[in-house]
Amino acid sequence: MRPIRRRTFLAGVSASVAALAGRDLLGERPLIASGPMLGPAGPREVVVWLQTAWPETLQLRFAPVGQPERARLTEQVMSKRENDGIVVFRIPNLAAGTRYLYEIFASGRSISSPLGPLSFSTTPEPGTVHDLVLLTGSCFYERDTAEPNYEINAGPPEIFLRMAEQKADFMIWLGDNLYLRESDLSAPSALAARYRRVRATPELQPFLAGTRQVATWDDHDFGANDDGFAYPLSNVTRQLFMRYWPPVATYGIAGTAGVFQTLKAADVEVFLVDDRTYRSSRVVPEGPGKTYLGAAQLAWLRGELERSTATFKIIASGSQVLTGVAHRFERWSAYATELAELFAFLKEKRIGGVVFLSGDRHWTEVNRVIVPGLYPVHDFTCSPLTAKVRESDQSDPERRNPERVPGTLLRERNFGALRFEGKKGDRRLALEAWDGKGVRRFRHVIAERDLRVPS
């Protein structure tokens, strides 16, 4: 990257919200089809993702806020049709805890953004203890007016405007980040078209541009409902997922494909697991051969947990984790041997601070289970963002789930927030649910001291 003169920095970045992000030769289409989106960030590097409507040579110009004389340019990158017009900028050698303004250049010319001034920020230095806000959610079913009952199946996307207003540090997508339709599943071109359509949702753009995004998947962005490793186009959907959700560093590990990864921020680590690539069918008899994560990924997770010094260790799973009482649907606890192996490991290694985060269920709740020899284990399930809320009446045995923390069942479209607060040694995690109007509906607080393995 190279410095540039002050007089040329950020020309046009304050274009009005009504301005368009570049046009084709006929003036009919904007160049930027989706984004820009902020991907993962650390103290020295940030990720910016964007998608163009046609092939173009792109470049970013950026500088710390108030210091235009320090402006730099990224290398030029060409967006290509065979990559869905997607470009990912990984910008290194940045200052920790610093906000930068940036602008997009196409073929050497600055283009205005309908989102107004664009910025990104690095995180503070590693090990710094500070307040941190992670948003979360699952089950984004986009409105397709050509489909019957679309208003019932898909709620208003304005929920993403409310999420943008939170100005959170990161968003953790918990899967079903889109819904592949039955008609999409047999054709790679149809799968790619669904991704393009969903990512271009207008109400989503301010949220993508203003909040760092990190994701795992579940069945509906992996394949069909309840699909596991047998889906024949899983390699295609995995490539699409990785193309649209840039990783913190890399996905998976050497010799083991998947979309699992680790995010670090403040004194928090989030372990996003891949609950689809190695999942056995639910009809497989219980035992060591019935897998949710698979042996290699489970070994990776154990290693990450043992190495971690984070106060809070969040394990993010597409499917719900803990509930077993009257639960007929997909859940990690239905793979009892593997989950018991993980709990035994936590006890043996005396690993504190673990909280589960999950989606999928089309309602939101906090479940708490007492594991002998361990601390109370929590699972914060958050769903749906816009998909249909699960139908349930008083005859549903899950309505009387004894593992649910009282006051935490929310049966409407919503998003979650995890707020890490307090001084070092006395930290707290607040689990919150917010409705589509931006109103907080519940808050459940877990103290650091309550997540320690007993002596």
Q: Taking the alpha carbons of 128, 133, 136, 142 in that order, is the dihedral positive or negative?
A: negative
Is-above-0.85 flag for pTM?
yes
Mean pLDDT of all residues in 268-294: 93
Q: Give the pLDDT confidence score for residue 392 in this predicted structure.
A: 82
When pLDDT is averaged across residues 44-67 and rounded to a whole number, the result is 98
Handedness of CA 205, 206, 209, 210 (dihedral sign): negative
Give the pLDDT band (50/70/90) at residue 16.
Answer: very low
DSSP letters, 181-195, are -GGGTT-HHHHHHHH
Helix axes 234-244, 188-199, angle to 10 degrees: 30
Which candidate, 124, 67, 438, 122, places its Cα nearest to that of 267?
A: 124
pLDDT at 400: 83
Q: In 96-161, at which residue ranges do the beta strands (DSSP E only) sit?
A: 99-106, 109-111, 118-121, 132-137
Reference 372, options 404, 394, 400, 340; nearest CA is 340
Average pLDDT rounded to a whole number, residues 266-294 = 93
Residue 23 binned pLDDT confidence (cut-offs 50, 70, 90) = low
Burial degree of 173 (CB within 10 A; 0-12, 13-18, 19+): buried
Q: What is the dihedral of CA 202, 208, 209, 214, to 10 degrees?
A: -170
Tell me the pLDDT tens digit for each residue of 247-264: 999 999 999 999 999 999
pLDDT of residue 228: 62
Count the Cβ atoms, other than its own, within 10 Å of residue 341: 14
pLDDT score of 147: 86
| The pLDDT value given to residue 7 | 42
Select from 163, 160, 162, 159 the least CA-distant residue to 134.
163
Q: What is the edge-to-edge ordering of all strands in the sheet holding 268-272? A: 261-265, 268-272, 312-317, 354-358, 376-381, 365-370
Is residue 4 predicted with pLDDT exceeding 60?
no
Q: Could you give all domains of the chain from N- to C-terminal order, each with its CATH number? A: 2-121 (2.60.40.380), 132-451 (3.60.21.70)
- Residue 85: enclosing H or E segment and its boundaries? none
CA distance 110 to 118: 13
- Map tokens 């990450």 to a residue: 304
* Three-class secondary structure of residue 323 per DSSP: coil
Residues of the chain with pLDDT > 90: what percent?
A: 80
- Phi, psi of 119, rounded to the nearest 5 degrees: -150, 160
